[in-house]
Amino acid sequence: MKGKFIVIEGLEGAGKSTAIATVQAWLQAKGLEVICTREPGGTPLAEQLRTLVKQADLQEQIAPETELLLMYASRVQLLRNVIEPALAAGQWILADRHDLSSRAYQGGGRQLADSLINAIRQAVLGQTRPDFTLYLDIDPALGLARAAARGALDRIEQEQLAFFERTRAKYLQIAATEPGIAVIDASQPLAQVQAALVEALEQAAL
Ligand code: T5A
């Protein structure tokens, strides 16, 4: 039997790392074998691309289209080498970000055309799609304050607030119009966020 593909999404500081631990514990309590991934990253080459796109002191501007292609280059490596074989072997994938991040950050934040992003998605992603996505929704100012409290900001985290507001708006627009995406209020205290995650998973009847 094929495994299932669960994705955690959200702006910086939304609490994705914390949510991964909650969801992983929920899945393991059901006796499921879970593989955790992150994007960009998750294979040796994809991790190098991650370092590149997050690097704050690059000597040149990264064009929005280049950024988009680097995200998809990383994603395809992870899909072909980790996600697809694991799902085929019946393992479950718990992903820290996936395709929705590109649609929100590069489509919303960078304002690249949906037609460009959809053409790339169609060309390179193949048939694999998440079975369920948990989107942790947070006011960008609060999320960035949490991220800043943790340490130095990377290249994308140094963007203006308006960039993250556009990214959030895109996340919310997609979550409101496409099936399989639960919106979790990530501004709540941690215990309430964790309870909301578990409730959404139970309701999803995976
Ligand atoms: N990107 C990525 C794109 O532009 N396009 C793409 O296609 C993809 C895949 C990746 C960057 O790349 C961009 C998006 C990103 O800018 P990343 O490290 O994966 O970078 O993502 P970040 O969002 O930067 O990861 P963070 O670690 O900042 O966010 P998390 O994981 O959401 O936050 P977390 O769990 O570490 O929590 C942050 C802090 O808040 C506290 C935690 O204890 C922690 O200190 N916290 C709470 N505090 C109070 N109440 C709660 N409910 C809390 N939950 C967490």
For residues 121-138, average pLDDT: 96
User: Average pLDDT of 130-155?
Assistant: 94
The answer to whether residue 195 scores a pLDDT higher than 90 is yes
Q: pLDDT tens, 32-59? A: 989 999 999 999 999 999 999 999 888 8
Residue with tokens 């085929």: 88
Q: Is the peptide bond before 179 cis (omega within 30 degrees of 0)?
A: no
Atom 4 of ligand 1: nearest residue by CA position: 105
First vs last C-alpha separation in the chain? 13
Distance from the alpha carbon of residue 1 to the mean position of ligand 1, in angstroms: 32
Give the neighbor-by-neighbor strand order of the sheet with 34-38: 34-38, 92-96, 5-10, 132-137, 181-185
Give the structural domain span for 142.
5-204
- CATH of residue 99's domain is 3.40.50.300
The total number of structural domains in the chain stands at: 1
pLDDT at 54 (0 to 100): 95
Average pLDDT over residues 63-89: 98
Pocket lining: 167 vs ligand 1, CB cutoff 6 Å: no
